[in-house]
Structures are given as structure tokens and as C-alpha cells.
Amino acid sequence: MIRTKLTERYGIERPFVSAGMGFIATPALAAAVSNAGGLGQLANGAAPPEVLRKLITATRALTGRPFAVNFIIETTAFGPLATDAHLRVCIEERVPAVVFHWAPPPVEWVRMLKDAGCDVWLQTSSITTAQAATASGVDIVIAQGGEAGGHVRGTTGLFTLLPRMVDAVRPAPVIAAGGIADGRGMAAALCLGAAGVCVGTRLIATVESNAHDEYKRRITEATEEDIVRTCIFGPEWPDGPMRVIRNRVVREWEGNDTKTPPQPNPPQIIGKTMLGGREYLMPKFAAILPTPETTGDFEEMCLAAGESAALVTTIGSAPAIVQTIAREAEQILEQQRAAVASMRSK
């Protein structure tokens, strides 16, 4: 069993956190990871506060173990994705940890959550942002390497970013995100000083994830050469750099992809999906990820995934994946310790 500041703080068995992935990390995935001894993240995505409460209740119905709620701090076509009202729901529901991404939370939010006994985490790629956040009371930092899937601000790879972050925010625990899809990655992250890992792309290709089957299939087929960083997606959230699987629309705009292109005239609909119980007609370049309700042209859709998609070849069950990755990491760390001991005894 690997014990770290993360496992001790939340009384969990494995220093494994599932990424809060909008549209994908719904109650089934978050609960499955928590039930497997990790810490599941429930993604709020673009859900309004009353829907968030239902999602938390649904997660609680599937697990009695701790889980975290994830918010993106950004104003999109759906309005601000995190508001005072969302945080009040987390406080009322006694969620043990709230995780923010993209922008750091205002100090008043940090205070409000911590006064209510709720831990505050920030996912960032910036050392200075992380230092300011921990100085303002943020408890845990997720260091997001440039290889990570989904919206990704930074370009520095995890092998450089992680030890820098660990040194910069010590004694705050740092969780490693980006490129981790097996026990080797987890062991490496722990050796670089992480208190745990945050895994996204590997968990898209699971039975419990809310990704469309075709999206899952493309994750299992992608190699590292199929994964690119682009800003083309997002009439809903323009110009946000994302790591995605290359498809026709990405290929067509490669080299011209530092901004979201203007909408074609006349408008073009690339598919249909459901958002918050309502039908959503997906405009060209939509940043909405395909879920089981989505229909349309997958060559036009945003298929967010990190470089670690190259390590994913099967669709599995989330608990088995969490347990296998953690067990492999443990074995590797034990082998390394044994190898050093045997060198010393010679």
C-alpha cells in the first residue's frame, strides 16, 4: 500500500484521483474510482447549481466514500461555470474537496469553502499561480503537464513541471496530471515528489465514463502522433487551447489553429446532443464532448484526449484500471528499492 499525504488526508487506499472531465466524469465514473480506493472527481461542467445537487446525490447513492467536485472558472456561452450558488451547494452537501481549474479561485471563495470545512484544490500549469493560490489558503495543487488532455494552458511537460511545483508550494501536496495511464507513469510521478496522480484520458475509455462509444474507440486507436494541441474548438468557449485527437476538422485547420475560427455563414450544424436535459444543436467547432446521447459527424467533433491515449488500447472497467495502475506502481517502487538494497550490499 502506498501512503502519501493524499491518502492520509482523505482516508483513501490509493493515491489516485480521477480527473474532473466535463460531460465525461459523471456520478458513475467518480463513484467507481472512489469505490476502488481512489478519490473520484465529479465534474460540474456547465451544469447549473440545482443540477449539481442532483449529481452529488446520484454520486452519494453509488458510493459512501469521499469524492471531490470539479469546477472550471470561466465565463462561457452558458454563463459563468462556477458561481457562489454552486459553492453553496457543495457546502450544504458537505463535499470534502472542491477542485478548480483554469483560473484560480477568488480569495473569498477559498475562505467560504474552508470555513465550512471543505478543502480547496487548484489545477494549474503555472508555478506563480500555484504559489499565490497556496498563499491564499488553497490546500492542494494539481500540476497539469502540457501533455494532458482537454483544456490545457501550459506547454511544459510533467517531468519538468512536477518537481518544480513540488519545490515551489512545499509543504502543500502536489498531484500530478498529464500523461499518466499506467503504473510506470504513477511510479514516476511519485518519485518526482507527487502525493498522488490525477488521471483523465485513461478513464475516458472505461465502461463507467459518459463518453460516446465512438469517442472511447478512437482513444484506444490513437497513437501519440494523433494527439494535437489546438484552439479551433469553442464557439461556447473561444480560443481555449485543448489537446484532442486529430480528425478531419483538426487536420483542415492545422497551422491555422491558434484561435477559434469564425462561424461559417450560413451556420453549419455538426451534430445533436443533450445538455442539462435539453437538446443542443452542435455548431461547427463545438467544444462539447460526445456523450451517449450525441449523434452527428465525429470527424467534426471535439474529441479531447491527452498524449497518454497512445498508452490506452482497451476499454476497461474503472475499478480494475485504478487497482491495476496502483498495484503496478507499487511493484515498480518495490523493485527499485530492492535493486538499490542489493547494490548497497555488494
Ligand X SMILES: Cc1cc2nc3c(=O)[nH]c(=O)nc-3n(C[C@H](O)[C@H](O)[C@H](O)COP(=O)(O)O)c2cc1C
Least distance (Å) between residue 292 CB and ligand X: 15
Stretch that binds ligand X, among 53-61, 82-90, 127-135, 144-152 (CB under 6 A): 144-152
Give 21 or 265: the residue with its C-beta nearer to ligand X: 21
Residue 231 has phi, psi (to 5 degrees) of -115, 15
Least distance (Å) between residue 333 CB and ligand X: 20
Touching ligand X, residues 37-66 (CB under 6 A): 43, 45
Q: Residue from 90, 113, 227, 289 that binds ligand X (CB under 6 A)?
A: 289
Q: How many residues does the chain have?
A: 346
Give 88 or 153: the residue with its C-beta nearer to ligand X: 153
Give 78 or 342: the residue with its C-beta nearer to ligand X: 78
Task: Determine the residue with CB nearest ligand X.
Answer: 200
Nearest to 302 by CA among 237, 255, 205: 237
Q: Residue from 22, 104, 290, 319 that binds ligand X (CB under 6 A)?
A: 22
CB atoms within 10 A of CB 126: 19
Which 3-state string (H, E, C) describes 107-121? Answer: HHHHHHHHHCCCEEE
Touching ligand X, residues 146-165 (CB under 6 A): 148-150
* Strands (E) located in 154-233: 174-177, 196-199, 227-230
Q: Quick one: 18 exposed, middle or buried, by C-beta within 10 A (0-12, 13-18, 19+)?
A: buried
Q: What is the dihedral of CA 295, 299, 302, 306, to 10 degrees?
A: 120
DSSP tag of 206: B
CB atoms within 10 A of CB 253: 18
Give 37 or 178: the residue with its C-beta nearer to ligand X: 178
* 98, 120 Cβ separation under 8 angstroms: yes
Give 150 or 235: the residue with its C-beta nearer to ligand X: 150
Q: Is 2 helix (H, G, I), strand (E, B) or coil?
A: coil
Least distance (Å) between residue 158 CB and ligand X: 9
Residue 174 is placed in which grid cell? 502536489
Least distance (Å) between residue 215 CB and ligand X: 9
Nearest to 119 by CA among 110, 127, 128: 110
Least distance (Å) between residue 107 CB and ligand X: 20
Stretch that binds ligand X, among 88-96, 188-196, 303-311, 325-333 (CB under 6 A): 303-311
Distance separating alpha carbons of residues 33 and 40, to the nearest angstrom: 5
Asked if 206 touches ligand X (CB under 6 A), the answer is no
Least distance (Å) between residue 146 CB and ligand X: 10
* Buried-state track 216-229, b at ≥16 Cβ within 10 A, e below 16: bebbeebeeebbbe
Least distance (Å) between residue 339 CB and ligand X: 28
Nearest to 270 by CA among 252, 257, 254, 243: 252
Asked if 24 touches ligand X (CB under 6 A), the answer is yes
Least distance (Å) between residue 338 CB and ligand X: 29
Q: In which residue are the cell numbers 483538426 written? A: 250
Q: Residue from 123, 156, 260, 273 that binds ligand X (CB under 6 A)?
A: 123
Q: Residue from 125, 201, 230, 273 that binds ligand X (CB under 6 A)?
A: 201
Q: CA quadruple 13, 19, 22, 23: dihedral positive or negative? A: negative
Asked if 177 touches ligand X (CB under 6 A), the answer is yes
Q: Residue from 20, 196, 234, 283 that binds ligand X (CB under 6 A)?
A: 20
Give 82 or 263: the residue with its C-beta nearer to ligand X: 82
Asked if 72 touches ligand X (CB under 6 A), the answer is yes
- Binding positions for ligand X, rule: CB under 6 A: 19-22, 24, 43, 45, 70, 72, 101, 123, 144, 148-150, 177-180, 198-201, 204, 289, 304-306, 308
